[in-house]
Structure 1
Amino acid sequence: MQPYMSVKNVSHVYPNGVTAIKDINLDIYEGEVVAILGSNGSGKTTLVKHFNGLLTPTKGEITVGGLNTKKEKISKLSSLVGYVFQNPNHQTFLPSVRKELEYGCTNLKMSESEIEERVNKAIELFELEDSLDDNPFDLNSSQRKEVAMASIMAVSPKVIVLDEPTTGQDHKGCKRVLDLVRMFKDHGHIVVLITHDMHLIGELNCRTVVMNQSRKIADDQADIVFSHKGVMEEAGLQPPQITSFANELSNLDSNKTYLTIDSILSWIKENKEYKEKKEEAVQIGSGS
């Protein structure tokens, strides 16, 4: 299977001489949710900004949907890769929610009928019917972030990049982000997350790429990455709190990495059932 996005030996050096990423190789496929982790300055944001042409490689090549990002305009690439910024104020600037939803489609010169269809779909998916005439800046931060996501969803790029989507969100807002990531995936989008939110990654147990000092140092499922203490320490990262808690419990399976409360409860239930069946078999055997 061919990757939808392919990063080949990519390095990026800023004009001031700082090497932000070095010799990165990364293939991302249809249907994937990929989290990119790393401490501040590790290179994760620089890497992702190459996906839609906001930056171009100093060395190496990136292809998206078969297109070389060095040879394409940002407007073309933005129809394939939508970027939702950490701060929605950097993305919303029009006087109404409806105009925000229409803007990207209009900018890509879609027909009026297609714009209407796409915007109506975004309105339905994000339940924005009662907010269409509101000024986005009159909404709270969670609502503004949803408007930013909905505006990207209206364009319907294959790839949706979410930059720190849970920053500033309360528990309800974080749960909503988790649901939206799953919704994007269910609607056929590749989702790329730049995040420090280990709980979010734990709930998704998605493919996880770890960056450190401009290089990629790990790339695997979250439960496998989080089990490598050396990688986590090198990157200056901590696994989800529930994982650290589970590591302190001596009665759990030490060969497993627990990312959620449900995974712990599931193991306890399965282990209890196993013990009960084993005891029952012993009793039957003794009786015979």
Structure 2
Amino acid sequence: MTDLVLKDVSFSYPGGFLAVDHINMEIKAGENVAIVGQNGAGKTTTVKMMNGLLRPTEGQVLIGEMNTKDYTTAQISKVVGYVFQNPDDQIFHSSVESEVRFGPKMMKLSLEEENRRVETALKMTGMDCYKDENPYNLPLSTRKFVTIAAVIAMETDILIFDEPTAGQDIEGNKRLSDILKTLHEKGKTVITISHDMEFVAENFKKMIVMAKKKIVRSGTPEEIFWDFETLEKAMLKQPYVSRVCRALGFKGGSIRIEDAIEEIISR
């Protein structure tokens, strides 16, 4: 499996706008990591450097032994899969199945292996019942799962999701949680940008907090959601469970409903 390391990385867009300012980050193989922060913190620019869509202006992005500066985006995409925030930036086939099949087909796999990957990805995301549909006949929230299935079918070591919960209802978020759990069980590294702190609290063991183009802190959700200095710097709110527990006078650590229940019973 593959570790991901960013060493003193900065990125400036044409015109000189600095989007990421000398950050260092290490994500171990198999970790499930949420990157959080307000708009403009540098999150999307950072993850786009992880799969070669952008190249660092300074520093190095290392994927295992690969330095992204030395490889094409197509080569990197075989190791790092990326799900865009807007699925319409990614979909270009006229059926769900053909969209999901495109990546494995380009890898020139055997037909048997190609079929296995497509069927697995469609089933995991719940898109098997839509496989003959045109993706653009589906609601935006469902189209997101089409692009997720397409990336899963590539079977990359690392998968990046940019705001997958945006526009999802409770059922969609539950499906996303199940997908993350399955990928984690398969040993995949999953990196997710999210503004949904409840979703982060429920689904991740590690958080990386960004603000003003820098990394403010990394740690567990239990640590970060009760670190009010970090939350203030990044302009983030605690999950609602933590806010209730704080209002009740609890000292810290509770981020999930079961945590709050245990705390209440113990009192």
The equivalent of 1:283 in structure 2 is none
Using the alignment, how far apart are the partners of 2:125 and 2:203 within structure 1? Answer: 20
Using the alignment, how far apart are the partners of 2:122 and 2:161 within structure 1? Answer: 19
> Which segments of 5 or more consecutive residues in structure 2 lack a partner in the other structure?
none
Q: Does residue 1:266 correspond to 2:262, yes or no?
A: yes
Offset at residue 126 of structure 1 (A)? 2.7
Cα distance per residue 1:25-63 (max 9 Å; x no partner): 111112211111111111111110001100111111111
Using the alignment, how far apart are the partners of 1:89 and 1:266 within structure 2? Answer: 43
Normalised to the residue count of structure 1, the TM-score between the two structures is 0.89
The equivalent of 2:228 in structure 1 is 229
Using the alignment, how far apart are the partners of 2:128 and 2:27 within structure 1? Answer: 34
Using the alignment, how far apart are the partners of 1:159 and 1:85 within structure 2? Answer: 14
Cα distance per residue 1:169-207 (max 9 Å; x no partner): 111112221221112111221110111010011112421
Distance verdict in 2 for CA 1:60–1:266, change over 3 Å: same
Offset at residue 109 of structure 1 (A)? 3.0
Answer yes or no: is the 8 Å Cα contact 2:2–2:157 preserved in 1. Answer: no
The equivalent of 2:244 in structure 1 is 245
The equivalent of 2:200 in structure 1 is 201
Using the alignment, how far apart are the partners of 1:267 and 1:34 within structure 2? Answer: 26
SS across alignment from 1:27: strand
Cα distance per residue 1:76-135 (max 9 Å; x no partner): 111111111111111112011110111111223333332122112213323433221111
SS across alignment from 2:97: helix
Using the alignment, how far apart are the partners of 2:133 and 2:24 within structure 1? Answer: 43
User: Quick one: percent identity of the two aligned structures?
Assistant: 35
The equivalent of 1:286 in structure 2 is none
SS across alignment from 2:74: helix
The equivalent of 1:95 in structure 2 is 94
Answer yes or no: is the 8 Å Cα contact 2:160–2:190 preserved in 1. Answer: yes
The equivalent of 2:114 in structure 1 is 115
> Which segments of 5 or more consecutive residues in structure 1 lack a partner in the other structure?
273-288
The equivalent of 1:285 in structure 2 is none
Using the alignment, how far apart are the partners of 1:13 and 1:204 within structure 2? Answer: 32
Q: How does 1:69-218 map to 2 (within 5 A)?
A: 69-218=68-217
Normalised to the residue count of structure 2, the TM-score between the two structures is 0.95
Cα distance per residue 1:196-228 (max 9 Å; x no partner): 010011112421111111111101111101111
Cα distance per residue 1:250-278 (max 9 Å; x no partner): 3x4x1x32111111112233x16xxxxxx
SS across alignment from 2:69: coil
- Alignment-mate amino acid for residue 105 of structure 1: P
- Alignment-mate amino acid for residue 126 of structure 1: T
SS across alignment from 2:207: strand
The equivalent of 2:60 in structure 1 is 61
SS across alignment from 2:232: helix
